[in-house]
Structure 1
Amino acid sequence: MLAQSQFEFQSDFQPAVQDALRFFKAGLGTNLHSVYVYGSVARHSAVSTRSNLDLVVITHRPFEDNRTTLMNTVQWRFQRSFPHVKGLNVKLALAKEVASLDSIFSWGFLLRQCCTCIYGEDLGECFGDYEPSWEIAKFWNSDVADWIRNGRQKIAIAKTAQEQSQAQIRIAKKLLRASYSVVMHKHKRWIDDPIECGEEFVRFYPDKQIEIDRLGILLSGRVIPKRSVVGLIDSYGQWLLKEYERTEFKIG
C-alpha cells in the first residue's frame, strides 16, 4: 500500500489530492481498492483556476446504495474548500473489471500509462508496457465524431462567454489529442499535453499548422466569434475523421 508521503504534486493541488483521498478512504472503508490521479495534476502541469483534479477510484464491490450521496458530498466539499480547482472528475470501476484482458486497451492503458497510484494495490502493474500503436489510438478516439457533433452544439447554444470558453477548451483538447493519435504510431511516444500533441502532429502534417494554431487559441480560453469556432470545428473535424478512415485503411 502506498503511503501518502510517497507522492507529491504541485503545491496548489497537493492538499486537494490528499483531501480527496481521505474522503474516499473514510466514505468507502474496506470497499476501497485503490485510487489514482491522472491528467494535468499527474503530469505536474496543472494551472490554478483552470485545471481539474482527475481521479480513478476502484472498489472491490458496487456501492449503488450510497453512490449518489457520496459523489455529491465530495463535489460539494471541493467547491467549498478548493475554489482554485476548476472541477473534480472521478472515474469509478470495480477491481475485477479492471484487471481483465477485456480491459487491456481501456483501463489497462489508462492506469499503466496515464495514472499515478496514490493508494492501494496498483492495478497498472497487471499490464505490461504499452508500445504506441494505431490500435490504441483508434480505441481511445473512437468517439471523435461524437465529440465534434456535441462540441459544435455546445458552442452554438452557449449563452455566456464563460460557457463558450469552457466548451472551446474541451473541444480543442480533444481535437489536439486526436490529431496526435493519427501520428502516434510513427512518433513512438506517449504524449497527453494538448499543445505538445499539436506541435508533434504538424511535424508530420505541416500543411495543418494554421488549424493547429487556431485550436491553440481556443485552448487558451479566449472567446472567439461563434461562427469562426463552428467553422473550424466543421472543416478541421471532418478532415480529421477522413484522415482516421484513411489511416485505418492503410494500417487495418
Structure 2
Amino acid sequence: MAENVRRRGLDPQGFIAREGSLGRIPHAFRPAVAAARDRLLDLYGTRLHSAYLYGSIPRGTARVGRSDLDLLVALREEPTETDRDGARALDEALDKEFRQIDGAGTLLFSRARLLSEPERYDLGWFVACLCTPLLGEDLAEDLPRYRPDSLLARETNGDLSLLLPRWRERIDAANDSDEARRRLVRFMSRHLVRTAFTLVMPRWNGWTSDLHEMAEAFAAYYPARGEQLRKAAALGHEPTGDRADLTSYVDDVGPWLAEEYARVHGVKTARP
C-alpha cells in the first residue's frame, strides 16, 4: 500500500510529497540556475525573503533548448512596479544569455500574501509542494501539509470560467503571429490538462506534474473527453501555432471543463 501511495506523489501518510530538489537539476541547466540565484540577490538584496525554482528543471525532466526556467520570489514587502520591471529584465537577460533554456519567468509576491489565509490552498500549496527552495528561509515551514482533496482542487483551479474571456482576448491579439499563437497553445494546453487532472485528483488520490500522466488519469474518469486532453498534453510539450487548437479550447473543452469543475468542486473563493 505504501509503495503505491508513494508512486502517486504522496508520502506514506497520504500527504502530497514535495517534488523537485536542487540535486535533480540537470547539469546543462546549472549555470542558468546559478546566475539566476546570484542576480536575484543583487536585484532585491535584503528585501528578498526567499526564492524558489519550480517546473521541469528542479524535477530533473527539463530538455535542453525546450524547457524554461521558472522562478518564484517572496519579498518582505509587497512588490512594486519597479520590482516587477526588474524581474522582467532579469527574465529577458537569462533567456538571451543561456541557450539551454527556452525563456525564463519570475513570479513575484510578498511573504505575507503567500502565507495568507486566502492563498493557503493555492499559492501556499504551490510553494509548499511544487517549489524547490533556492534562497532564504523556506516558507513551507509555516504552511500546512496538503492532501489531494476537493478543497485543494477548488482553490487551485476552480476559476477557469473567469479565465476563458481573457483567453479569447489573448487569442485575438495573437492572430497575426505564429510564434505568439505557439506560446499560447503551450500555455493553454498545460493549463487545461492540469485543470482536467485536478478535477479527478481526489478520486485518483495522488499528485503528478507529468502532463501525459495527468491526461491519462483524467481519461480514466471521462473517456469521452480523453483524446482531447491527450492531444492537449502533447501540445503542452510540442506546441503548434494552429488557431484551431486555441479556438477549441475556448469554445469547447474549456467551457465544458469549467462547468463540470464547478459542479464537482465548486468555484474558487474570490480573492481580495
Q: Is the 8 A contact 1:147 1:174 kept in 2?
A: no
Corresponding position: 1:185 with 2:202 = yes
Distance 1:16 1:162 in 2: 24
Partner of 1:39: 55
- Which residue, 154, 160, 164 being the options, matches 1:148? 164
Distance 2:210 2:158 in 1: 19
Where 1:41 maps in the other structure, the secondary structure is helix
Partner of 2:45: 29
Q: Deviations over 1:131-159 (max 9, x none)?
A: 01111111111331244333344445432
Corresponding position: 1:14 with 2:30 = yes
Partner of 1:245: 262
What's the % identity of the aligned pairs? 25
Distance 1:228 1:118 in 2: 36
> Which moves more between the two structures, 169-178 or 98-107?
98-107
Partner of 1:194: 211
Structure 1 residues 150 and 98: CA distance shift in structure 2, 3 A? closer
Distance 2:73 2:244 in 1: 40
Where 1:13 maps in the other structure, the secondary structure is helix
Corresponding position: 1:117 with 2:133 = yes
> Which moves more between the two structures, 229-238 or 149-158?
149-158
Structure 2: state its 5+ residue gaps: 1-20, 267-272
Partner of 1:61: 77
Which structure's relative contact order is higher, taking Cα pairs within 8 Å and 6+ residues apart? 2
Q: Deviations over 1:93-139 (max 9, x none)?
A: 22233334343113320111101101111111212220011111111
- Which residue, 243, 247, 252 being the options, matches 1:230? 247
Structure 1 residues 69 and 151: CA distance shift in structure 2, 3 A? closer
Q: Give the TM-score normalised by the residue count of structure 2.
A: 0.80
Distance 2:233 2:113 in 1: 37
RMSD: 2.5
Corresponding position: 1:208 with 2:221 = no
> Which moves more between the two structures, 190-199 or 130-139?
190-199
Structure 1: state its 5+ residue gaps: none
Q: Is the 8 A contact 1:57 1:90 kept in 2?
A: yes
Q: What is the number of residues matched between the two proteins?
A: 245
> Which moves more between the two structures, 78-87 or 105-114?
78-87
